[in-house]
Homo-oligomer: A and B are copies of this chain.
């Protein structure tokens, strides 16, 4: 095990960027957060206090030239993910890019292509749930044969209702609810069903229960999709922007001999409150509240893979598959049509039964 530390920089210090930055600065012993990029004055001010040992750049290209820099976290807005990731790869840096690589399949593929040219670099798409202890335990149990053959996968990403309606403006660039939220669930389906699973068909429906304005962007606040894979596997997904109690992301892997449920019963702390109207528990309020530890694990494992030249836990190309399926669901939502694919995963017009 190398004793030297990984010099890493964080592009973007917004909500997720700040969390990544703090995790690499304070909770990743083998990494030093040496640089960050943000043009935003508030973020800069925050960094001055919170990241005292990190040099903050106004310019992404300048940041890439930071002396001794080994790796870059890309945590800017989605549209910047791909160009910044590609620049970093071309500058010979390892890259941890927030999901999705892009809301476009082609652009996502271009990141994969860029990475393929530099096989010595570690390029990771930040599917945080892959680093979550619960999802990993479920995978291990499945892998040990505990549920027979995994056949049906159910998964949901459900956000607490944000009454500010922030997510309406956000929908303009998010790629839509299936690409923005269910991308995680789709990636999990690919994990549990096998990275080489090939989509056969996809269909989705949705409603705007709280934000009719989402229709302007072809989006919804509650969506349900079904995805069939070649080989007799079925996945279905739910995403919502209107949970009252908090974030509730959960999954079930249903096999021929058993089922594994992950986070069927969300919990915040281990406190249960017995009150005059019953027994109550609080639950995580947002994505980070549920997955904080997974992000820390991600930071540490990415760092170790870079320093020790070991394999990342999953392939970058899966990110393209996930976006492909997410976009198919989003398209089905808009057009009302079912989308079909052949055994190679190519779009076809009529079903191949």
Contacts and interface: CB of A to CB of B under 8 A. Distances in A.
A249 B244 CA distance: 23
A280 interface: yes
Contacts of A27: 27, 29
A52 B18 CA distance: 29
B265 A244 contact: no
A260 B274 contact: yes
A317 interface: no
Given A203-B205, A209-B256, A336-B351, A146 B226 contact: no
A94 to B, nearest CB: 21
Contact of A279 (B3, B266, B276): B266
- A-B residue pairs, 3 tightest by C-beta: A259-B274, A151-B209, A134-B270
Contacts of A324: none
Interface of A: 3, 25-27, 29, 52, 133-134, 137-138, 141, 146-147, 149, 151-152, 154, 161, 201, 203-210, 222, 224, 226, 228, 232-234, 236, 238, 240, 242-246, 248, 254, 256-283, 336-338, 351, 353
Contacts of A151: 207, 209, 222, 242
Given A245-B259, A283-B278, A271 B226 contact: no
Contacts of A279: 245, 265-266, 280-283
Given A151-B222, A205-B234, A208-B232, A262 B254 contact: no
Given A257-B244, A275-B244, A338 B203 contact: yes
B245 A275 contact: yes
Given A147-B244, A232-B209, A256-B242, A272 B261 contact: yes
Given A203-B338, A207-B233, A279-B281, 8 more contacts: A134-B269, A134-B271, A137-B268, A138-B271, A243-B274, A244-B259, A258-B274, A259-B273
17 contacts: A141-B273, A151-B209, A151-B242, A152-B207, A152-B222, A201-B336, A205-B234, A222-B234, A226-B226, A242-B256, A244-B274, A257-B276, A258-B274, A260-B273, A265-B265, A265-B270, A336-B353
* A contact patch SS: mixed
Contact of A265 (B161, B246, B260, B264): B264
Nearest to A272: B261
